[in-house]
Amino acid sequence: MKIRVCFFAGIREAVGVEEECFELPSNIKNLEQLRDWYVTRGEPWSSALSPTRAVRAALNHQMCDWDVLIMANSEIAFFPPVTGG
Amino acid sequence: MPVRIQQNDFDLSTEIAALRASNSAVGAVASFVGIARDVNVGDVIQTLTLEHYPGMTEKVLQELIEQAKQRWKIFDALIVHRVGTLKPQDQIVLVAVTGVHRDDALSACQFIMDFLKTDAPFWKKEMTAQGERWVAARRSDTEAAARWSRPIKCTKNTL
């Protein structure tokens, strides 16, 4: 299934990508698995989305826990903890 | 529009006048204005650049207003948040709430502001003499938001 993935703030700068659309590998079911898959791409992805870094994820404009399942045509975003206000 | 994301500055008096214009039952307006400071973590800040996640930001802020309306007796709420590059002393954010009495308006205003800090997808980047850096999230903001999940009676006692 197709998904769109967006990156914001320091993570966007680190990976040099604002967003990308692609066919999700069939073995990736949830947000944690997607993050792990990015880490296997090597640098700069592995550092930017490393499990040791504070990263938040949103699915279809809603902040989510890492075990949330990805649906077809989802928009997923990875970003650092928010700092507005 | 109860939620606005904009580059331009805002005027508190104009916004409040518009928010309560059509409702003569309003007896209280609570507001909060966040300002860009000139020093952070010991360094002089030259500029502050705000980025957000279009679409998600508006949705999160609208949901916060709806939650506040369910929790307190308020008429309406307005959130204006600026993005782009700001200077110290510039206004960043406005939250204004109208109600019959002050307790509900003040609590709702603080509730919205606390969760804006932890849930709304904005990010700040500071320019200092040493270069630019992303602002780190603060634990105290998370703790401020966490108190609202307590029973309302306890929450009110902490104000």
Q: Which residue in B has a C-alpha nearest to residue A19's C-alpha?
A: B53
Q: Are strands A75-79 and B39-40 parallel, antiparallel or unpaired?
A: unpaired
Candidate from A31-40, B34-43, B48-57, B143-152 with smallest mean pLDDT: B143-152
The arithmetic mean of pLDDT across residues B32-39, rounded, is 97
A41-68 pLDDT per residue, tens: 999 999 999 999 999 999 999 999 999 9
Euclidean distance between CA atoms A10 and B123, whole angstroms: 9
Average pLDDT, chain B: 93
ipTM: 0.95
SS3 state of residue B28? strand
B34 forms bridges with which residues in the sheet?
Answer: B93
Average pLDDT of the segment spanning B106-134: 97
In A21-60, the residues whose Cβ lies within 8 Å of chain B are 54, 58
Residue A60: per-residue pLDDT: 98
Question: Where residue A2 falls among pLDDT bands split at 50, 70, 90?
Answer: very high
Cβ A84–B137 below 8 Å, yes or no?
no
Average pLDDT over residues B18-38: 97
Contact B123 A54 (CB under 8 A): no
DSSP designation for B8: S
Interface list for chain B against chain A, based on CB atoms closer than 8 Å: 34, 50-53, 55-56, 59-60, 81, 92-93, 113, 116-125, 134-137, 141
B10 to A36, B13, B49: CA distances (angstroms): 43, 9, 17
Give the helix/strand (H/E) hosting B60.
helix B56-71
Q: What is the pLDDT of residues B66-117, one digit of tens each?
A: 999 999 999 999 999 999 999 999 999 999 999 999 999 999 999 999 999 9
Of B51, B59, B93, the CB nearest to A9: B51
Residues 7-26 of A with CB under 8 A from B: 8-10
Model pTM score: 0.93
Report the alpha-carbon distance of residue B11 to residue A4 in Å, rounded. 38
